[in-house]
Amino acid sequence: MKTKIAVANGDGIGPEIMASVLNIFEADHVPLEYEFVEMGKSYFDAGHSTGMTEKAKETIENLGLLFKGPMETPKGKGVKSINVTARKVWNTYANQRDFRTLNGVETVFSKAGTQINLTIVRENIEDTYGGIEHMLTNDVAVGRRIITRPGSAQVIRYAFEMARRKGYKKVACGHKANIMKLTDGIFLETFYEVAKDYPEIEAYDIIVDDLCMKLVSHPEMFEVVVLTNLQGDIVSDLCAGLVGGLGFAPSANIGDNISIFEAVHGTAPDIAGKGIANPTALLLSGISMLRYLGLTAHAANIENALLYTLEQGIHTGDFGDRSTTSVNTEGFANAIIANLGKQPAKGSVQAQVDIEPKANTITRPEKNKLTVIAPVTKQEIQGVDIFVESTLQPNEIAEVAKTKLNDKFKLIMISNRGTQVWPTGSIYTELVNEFRIRYEKTDGVELSQRDVLGIAAELSDAIKVCSVELLMVFDGKPGYSLAQGQ
């Protein structure tokens, strides 16, 4: 029986590499049926603000699995990336990218005899990818970085489950919790919380800059690394470079209901239409999709044919021995088809059913799922940060801020770009035209939301208020950071 999946060809080189991959699947008699969906740049251009038709959305939601080519995000039209939207809307919370040394793909590490076999699991929904950005003044833009306990727990559990299935011994958490103490702090805290359920796996954390340095000097040290979205994005492209470039970087976006398989690379506009793109990354993504669907024998057969082809030195223009003639996309796919059934000399793969994840079973929920992991028994308002636009000096702003004080509040500090400039600071701290004024409650007072919005409203009579943020304390723990120098 054939399994039906949704396929989007994509833009640029997308249709060329997708056709090659589907030809290889056909040659191996993979029991899949494809429903091609309308998604991509031309659908943006035709006025579909999400970059896909309603029919495409419905098809993908019904089938639960999308195999997609890269898609272009039109620049400067105020539209969001369809790739990011698709991952977020359908809650494909884990982005898994496997990187390993491929014989025939020469890199500095393959030349040195260093074998790379590592998996990056990147959180796929949260972080700065919400794209929640505002200009507070014409000089100052701010972006919201959203990291949540439920989102972190979902992706971290996925990483540990995957590591357990595949017999990995170590899972690392890459982070920057030394600087972003609350956002990366939650991610790191959740990592060690979830790790308790996997005692056989060594769980450790590493600061992301140190991780990058170690990845480029000793990539063999790592097995599985889980990271937040933006850091994971950057680190996984770095890893693509370790194994031969974007042409070899597959990715799976896994959710509980819908999953998306695609290459890491984009539409390669510089080579689109020439028929010379390397289809390997999309093929590797397709192979992991076959495993995910339980078609493990086909996955192994095709992967062995790919490895055999690479070992033979057959290559597209973007890699391999430059002194030998390269083949085009179709030629590369045809070579793989001709090699189906052959085994590579090194690193042949088996159809290991027990280590593969299970495909989703689609159950359409009645309502949107909402998760709260850490309910609090007591939360109180400690004060308020009021962000204002001004070209006054810090002590002058303090004078304005003091005129709005009442017996419920005291003025704690003023900062500029996160650095305290009042009551103490340095004359060498350079300023921009956006300040934060922090008021906290006086002893024994219980503040209401009305109190803090009230003082902001009072302040707005004297100075332009750009935004307001409550200072919360959850079960006695402050839910806000201090200023540098505070």
- Residues in contact with ligand NAD by CB under 6 A are 13, 70-73, 83, 246-247, 262, 265-271, 277-278, 281, 318
* CA gap 78, 131 in Å, rounded: 11
Residue 270 or residue 430: which is nearer to ligand NAD going by CB? Answer: 270
Nearer to ligand NAD, 148 or 316 (CB): 316
- Tell me the closest approach of the beta carbon of residue 463 to ligand NAD, in angstroms: 40
Nearer to ligand NAD, 87 or 441 (CB): 87
Closest CA to 216 of 186, 241, 252, 245: 241
Rounded CA-CA distance 472/464 in Å is 24
Identity of the residue, 150 or 266, whose beta carbon is nearer to ligand NAD in the bound complex: 266
Taking the least distance from each CB to ligand NAD, the nearer of 212 and 246 is 246
Between 273 and 423, CB nearer to ligand NAD: 273
Picking from 153, 150, 121, 126, the residue whose alpha carbon sits closest to that of residue 226 is 121
Indicate the residue among 8 and 388 with the shorter CB distance to ligand NAD.
8
CB of 317 to ligand NAD, least distance (A): 7
Residue 359 beta carbon to ligand NAD: minimum distance, rounded to whole angstroms:
21
- Alpha helices, H only, 243-393: 280-292, 296-311, 329-338
Q: For every residue of 356-396, which 3-state class applies, written as one string?
A: CCCCCCCCCCCCCCCCCCCCCCCEEEEEEEEEEECCCCHHH
Residue nearest ligand NAD, CB atom distance: 266
Least distance in Å: CB of 66 to ligand NAD? 12
Distance CA 425, CA 275 (A): 60
Q: How far is the CB of 70 from ligand NAD (least distance, A)?
A: 3
Convert 172-183 to b/e letters by CB count within 10 Å (16 or more is b). bbbbbbeebeeb
CB of 448 to ligand NAD, least distance (A): 46
Angle between helices 208-217 and 229-242 (to 10 degrees): 10
Distance CA 157, CA 10 (A): 31
Q: Return the SS3 of 312.
A: coil
Q: How far is the CB of 318 from ligand NAD (least distance, A)?
A: 4
How many Å apart are CA 388 and CA 464, to the nearest integer?
A: 5
